[in-house]
Amino acid sequence: MIGLKDLKLLNYSYSVCLRLYHTREVRVRFAPSPTGFLHLGGLRTALYNFLFAKSHKGKFLLRIEDTDQTRIVEGAREQLQKDLNWAGIYIDEGPGLGGSFGPYIQSQRLKLYQEQVKKLLNNGSAYYCFCTNKRLDLLRLEALRARQIPKYDNRCRYLSTDEIKSKLDRNESHCIRFKLTPGMETFEDIIYGTITYDVVLNEGDPVILKSDGYPTYHFANVVDDHFMKISHVLRGVEWQISTTKHIMMYRAFNWEPPIYGHLPLLLNPDGSKLSKRQGDIQISSYRKSGILPQALVNFITHSGGGFEKDQERYLKPKSYTMDELAEQDHFEKVNLQFS
């Protein structure tokens, strides 16, 4: 079996490696934040991951990303699992379902994130930041006044070991930031093709562990995808801009990143983004109005998903079953015009 490291030795570029490296067991995940109820966009992400796992005889995981405790909506997680089941999307590993890589709720994995952050502090890829909210607000205002992109100026990167020690001894409130590397970073997106982006042009060093001991999305997401052995990350295109940052974190850990594919947004008829606050696109609202799960699933796959349309192959309109959908190799045909 040829692995990513062998391909690197053969001098393939990093992005080519990502494309060729299909030798791992397929393990994909749906990783919602329980900040609202499942809507069409979330269902589509879950569905594509589920079908991908099914067609590659892999595993489909549910991971709850609840690191922003202030935004949790009570009952959202339980309802989400019910909605997925109703739609015929069955989870192999997840909260309350078992699996060898749990717990599958991020707030129950804080110890792991704190341990992993230490590795990055020790190898110089992360640092303590003692900047106050007041300073950060001022930086933002100054940038806006100067018509520049507001971003952290990385000041605490340059604190001396003694300064850090004395601040820690004084119990000063702090977070941990990751050191971004300037320059173009490239990855191969299985839907959008080659993506190149220099994140430093638009962002300062991101916080990875907050002052309350909780990780931020970016850090917890990378750590969990690694420890849960995720082979492919299939998620909404709104996360594509963060992927080069995630790849830098994999490199800092010396871990192999997964293969990425970003899905164009599903939009409202007026071109606006779907929102968790739109009651009419919530899965429970379709269920209550008597829509059958298979009809909803077929509606989603026909909305730019690259799946075959019934009229093209059948005289009579056909509603595809999950098994039939899983047989279709649709990723190359996803309609990017929808984004």
**Closer residue to ligand GLU, CB minimum distance, 32 or 305:** 32
Binding mask 22-51 for ligand GLU (x = CB under 6 A): ---------xxx------------------
Is-contact 216 210, C-beta < 8 A?
Answer: yes
Q: Is 146 exposed, middle or buried (0-12, 13-18, 19+ CB in 10 A)?
A: exposed
Element (H, E) at 249: helix 240-253
For the chain, give percent helix, strand, coil, nearest 5: 45, 15, 40
Binding mask 48-87 for ligand GLU (x = CB under 6 A): -----------------x----------------------
**Closer residue to ligand GLU, CB minimum distance, 32 or 264:** 32
Q: Which of 54, 232, 235, 330 binds ligand GLU (CB under 6 A)?
A: 235
Which residue, among 302, 300, 298, 305, has the nearest Cα to 336 in the 3D structure? 305
Binding mask 210-229 for ligand GLU (x = CB under 6 A): -------x---x--------
How many angstroms from the chain centroid is the CA of residue 206?
16
State how far the alpha carbon of 127 is from the alpha carbons of 118, 140, 163, in Å: 10, 21, 12
Instruction: Determine if 239 is a binding residue for ligand GLU (CB under 6 A).
Output: yes
Q: Which one is catalytic: 134, 276, 309, 333?
A: 276
Element (H, E) at 236: strand 232-236
- For the chain, the first-to-last Cα distance in angstroms comes to 37
Instruction: Determine if 197 is a binding residue for ligand GLU (CB under 6 A).
Output: no
**Closer residue to ligand GLU, CB minimum distance, 113 or 320:** 113
Contacts of residue 252, defined as CB under 8 A and 6 or more positions apart, other chains included, come to 120, 123, 125, 126, 178, 179
| Least distance CB 217 / ligand GLU (angstroms) | 6
| Least distance CB 95 / ligand GLU (angstroms) | 14
| Least distance CB 36 / ligand GLU (angstroms) | 10
Rg over CA atoms, the chain:
21
**Closer residue to ligand GLU, CB minimum distance, 65 or 83:** 65
Task: Supply φ then ψ for residue 288, to 5 degrees.
Answer: -65, -30
Instruction: Determine if 245 is a binding residue for ligand GLU (CB under 6 A).
Output: no
**Closer residue to ligand GLU, CB minimum distance, 28 or 209:** 28
| Least distance CB 255 / ligand GLU (angstroms) | 16
Token digits for 37? 């109820």
Let me know if 229 is a catalytic residue.
no
**Closer residue to ligand GLU, CB minimum distance, 231 or 298:** 231
| Least distance CB 233 / ligand GLU (angstroms) | 6
Spatial distance between the Cα atoms of 91 and 63, rounded to a whole number of angstroms: 10
| Least distance CB 10 / ligand GLU (angstroms) | 30
Q: Angle at CA 203, nearest 5°, toward 198 and 206?
A: 115
Site for ligand GLU in 86-105 (CB under 6 A): none
Q: Active-site residue numbers? A: 276
Name the site residues for ligand GLU (rule: CB under 6 A). Answer: 31-33, 65, 217, 221, 235, 239
